[in-house]
Amino acid sequence: MDANSDKGHDHKKLGKELDLFTFSDLVGSGLPLWTPKGTVLRNLLDDFVWELRSKCGYEKVEIPHITKRELYEKSGHWDKFKDDLFRITTREGDEFAMKPMNCPHHTQIYARRPWSYRELPQRYANTTMCYRDEQSGELNGLSRVRAFTQDDAHAFCRESQVKEEFLKVWNIIEEFYSTFGFKPKKIRLSFHDPKHLEKYLGDKGRWKIAEDILRDIAKEKGVETIDGMGEAAFYGPKLDFMAEDAHGRLWQVATIQLDMNMPERFDLTCINEKGEKERIVMIHAAVMGSIERFLSVLIEHLGGAFPLWLSPVQVRVLPVSEKHTAYANEVLAALRAASIRTDVDDANESLGKKIRNAKTEKIPYLLVVGDKEVEAKTVSVESRDHGKQDVASLSDFITKASEEIRSRK
């Protein structure tokens, strides 16, 4: 689905109006630069995904952004993606590449020592930049870029643990997307094309086992499925989550993938109950996919009107005139002390102009302070979503806003 199919909600236009990201000819096409406000968005989304993953036993890892050619030759990525790689040759003549994905690196973290079956699953989470040499004609705002941030995760487990691990990630995906009124409604069974086995790693038997497992999981969940023959990753089948946005457009969002081939290529094992080496399997999972593409969809889905917890500026204080600025700054200090992202518009403009500017920026709450508010130590509250509200004490507003933020309403 083209992220520009609804021009009224074009994420590139909204991103500029809301001052979230920019591009520079000097930096290069397909390389977004994130402003302070956009960086707040990225970090909050990543923190939310991590909060959900950490409850399921994932641990954070970090990896370098370049790697030797040999790693991708062993994983199979070099032959598959060599034309999409940014390559680097060292002064000593060694060939490296900017990483286009993270899974081969994570195999090497797992491979650092032997593991007992009692220690499995091992679960790694890693939000990190990846790089692909996309053709310039394919670049499109945040939807298709050359540098993108994956919220990547891999679970290394026994085949008998696959179903439980898949369902854990499935629950994470449902909770994450439901928060935005964007719950996936369909699952695409992205399987291999048996007529073109040369496109994939491994043999037919291993693919059948993996695809049968995913088909059974989808059936147990009772969701509507879409046939996706030929949409598998080259190393394994996927469950791709399809969600409908506020404009009726269907998007492929999150993905969970079952990989029985890369563990074979890297000889990843555990020691089983008999004291013997047992081949493990690998689960790839991305909740947002890439933060850039997810934000291109979310910005358009919400029309740029982010919920309070996600808004880069949550509250703006509007003094009616210059004589009210001192109290406006007191309100600002109190809100910031409560970890509510707040600014003050003390420009020499009319109150009406300040309100219009704030509405253009889609700020969730406006607090107007004039003579009455200064005298009573209150604030007049206007909500982006619910219009004008009552005058409230500052402490009452802070309590209400903090609860709304905490609950991610």
Which is nearest to 255 in space by CA: 310, 181, 193, 177?
Answer: 177
| C-alpha gyration radius of the chain | 25
- Give the distance from CA 14 to its chain's centroid: 19
Pairing mode of beta strands 224-227, 186-190: parallel
- Candidates 121, 54, 85; CA nearest to 268 is 121
Pairwise CA distance, residues 218 & 234, whole Å = 21
Residue found by looking up tokens 């236009």 in the block? 13
* 312 preceded by a cis bond (ω within 30 of 0): no
Expressed in percent and rounded to 5, the helix, strand and coil fractions of the chain are: 40, 25, 35
Residues with a known catalytic role? 103, 132, 150, 152, 154, 238, 284
* DSSP classification of residue 100: S
Rounded Cα distance, 272 and 282, in Å: 17
Q: Residue written as tokens 């994956």?
A: 150
345, two tokens: 């518009």
d(CA 4, CA 351): 35
CA atoms within 13 A on the CB side of 72: 23
How many angstroms separate the Cα of 19 from the Cα of each of 303, 354, 358? 14, 17, 13
| Long-range interactions of 229-234: CB distance < 8 A, separation 24+ | 229/191, 229/192, 229/193, 230/191, 230/192, 230/193, 230/196, 231/188, 231/190, 231/191, 232/190, 232/191, 232/192, 232/193, 232/200, 233/190, 233/257, 233/259, 233/284, 234/76, 234/80, 234/199, 234/200, 234/201
